[in-house]
C-alpha cells in the first residue's frame, strides 16, 4: 500500500472530523479550536473516554444493583458506595494518561508508520474480517502475557498492578473497577492494541472502536456475574483472578489460559466450595 501524503491526509481528516464531533458538543469552540491537532485529539479521547466510563458504569450498576437486585447478586455482594467512589477516583486520576495511548497511536497512523488503512473498500470483506480476527488474537496473546508478567515480576506487581488488586472480594468489585489501575499498568495492558497495528493491516476506525470498547468490556468483567458463555472470559473467570491472583489472566477468551495452563473454571470453583462447605458441616 502506497503511503503518500495525500493518502495520509485521509487519516488526519478523519481524526479532525472526530475531534469536531466530540469537542463541539462538549466545549465552546474558543477553548479547543486554537489547539494543535495532537492536543485536540488527546482532549477528544480524554472527554470521550471519561464519558464512556461513566455512562457504561452507571448504566451497568443501575441495572444489576437496582433493577435486578437479588437476581444476579445477593444484596450483601453489592459493593459499597465508598468502594465504588474509590474506584472512580483511581480511574479518573489515570484517565488523562490512559488516553495518551490512543492519541499516540493515531499520530503514528497519521504519520504512516503502521499498517492501518483508511477505507474498508480498499480491501475485500473477507480480508477485512480476517484482519480483525488476526488483530484480536494478537491483542489477546499480548494482553495475556502482559497481565501475567505484571503478576509474576514482583516489582511490577508491587508498584503497579497491586493498585487494581485491592479489589479482591466479590463485594469490592464493581463495573467501575474496570479502569481503576495505576496509569502505567493500564497503558501497558492496552499496548498490544498498538503493537498489533505494526503487524496486521487493520481498518483505522475499527481499531479506534475496538480500543474504546475496552472501557465497556472491562466494566463487564468486573461485575462478578458469570455469564457462562464459552469461550468468553467473563466476570466469573475474572472474579477468580481477583481472588486467587494466579489464574485467568486472559482478556476476551479463555483460550490463552487454557493453552498456558492458568485456567480455572468458575463452575468447578463453585463445586469445590460447596464440597468444602459440606465437609465443614460434617
Tell me the backbone φ, ψ of residue 193, rounded to 5 degrees.
Answer: -60, -35
Of the candidates 193, 4, 8, which has an alpha carbon nearest to the alpha carbon of residue 103?
Answer: 193
pLDDT digits (tens, 9 = 90+) for 150-166: 999 999 999 999 999 98
Q: What's the pLDDT score for residue 70?
A: 75
Cα separation, 175 vs 168, in Å, equals 14
Q: Which three cell numbers stand for residue 122?
A: 480498499
pLDDT digits (tens, 9 = 90+) for 46-55: 999 999 999 9
pLDDT digits (tens, 9 = 90+) for 191-237: 999 999 999 999 999 999 998 888 889 888 888 777 778 888 888 89
CA 37 from centroid of its chain's CA atoms: 25
Cα separation, 223 vs 239, in Å, equals 8
* pLDDT surpassing 70 at residue 8: yes
Cα separation, 98 vs 47, in Å, equals 12
How many other CB atoms sit within 10 Å of the CB of residue 73? 18
Q: What's the pLDDT score for residue 269?
A: 67
Domain boundaries along the sequence of the chain = 1-220
pLDDT digits (tens, 9 = 90+) for 249-276: 999 999 999 999 999 998 776 544 444 4
**3-state SS, residue 169:** coil
Amino acid at each position: 500500500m502506497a503511503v503518500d501524503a495525500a493518502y495520509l491526509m485521509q487519516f488526519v481528516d478523519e481524526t479532525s472530523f472526530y475531534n469536531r464531533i466530540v469537542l463541539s458538543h462538549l466545549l465552546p469552540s474558543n477553548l479547543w479550536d486554537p489547539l494543535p491537532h495532537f492536543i485536540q485529539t488527546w482532549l477528544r479521547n480524554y472527554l470521550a473516554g471519561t464519558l464512556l466510563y461513566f455512562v457504561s458504569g452507571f448504566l451497568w450498576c443501575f441495572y444489576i444493583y437496582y433493577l435486578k437486585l437479588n437476581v444476579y447478586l445477593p444484596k450483601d455482594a453489592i459493593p459499597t458506595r465508598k468502594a465504588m467512589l474509590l474506584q472512580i477516583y483511581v480511574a479518573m486520576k489515570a484517565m488523562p494518561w490512559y488516553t495518551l495511548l490512543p492519541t499516540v497511536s493515531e499520530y503514528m497512523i497519521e504519520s504512516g508508520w503502521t499498517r492501518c488503512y483508511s477505507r474498508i473498500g480498499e480491501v475485500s470483506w473477507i480480508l477485512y474480517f480476517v484482519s480483525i480476527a488476526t488483530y484480536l488474537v494478537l491483542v489477546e496473546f499480548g494482553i495475556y502475557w502482559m497481565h501475567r508478567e505484571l503478576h509474576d515480576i514482583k516489582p511490577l506487581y508491587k508498584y503497579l498492578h497491586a493498585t487494581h488488586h485491592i479489589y479482591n472480594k466479590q463485594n469490592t468489585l464493581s463495573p467501575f473497577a474496570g479502569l481503576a489501575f495505576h496509569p502505567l499498568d493500564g497503558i501497558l495492558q492496552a499496548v498490544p492494541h498498538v503493537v498489533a497495528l505494526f503487524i496486521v493491516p487493520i481498518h483505522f476506525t475499527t481499531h479506534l472502536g475496538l480500543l474504546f470498547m475496552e472501557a465497556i468490556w472491562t466494566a463487564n468483567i468486573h461485575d462478578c456475574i458469570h455469564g457462562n458463555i464459552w469461550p468468553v472470559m467473563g466476570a466469573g473467570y475474572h472474579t477468580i483472578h481477583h481472588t486467587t491472583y494466579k489464574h485467568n489472566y486472559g482478556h476476551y477468551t479463555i483460550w490463552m489460559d487454557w493453552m498456558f495452563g492458568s485456567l480455572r473454571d468458575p463452575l468447578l470453583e463453585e463445586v469445590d466450595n460447596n464440597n468444602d462447605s459440606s465437609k465443614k458441616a460434617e
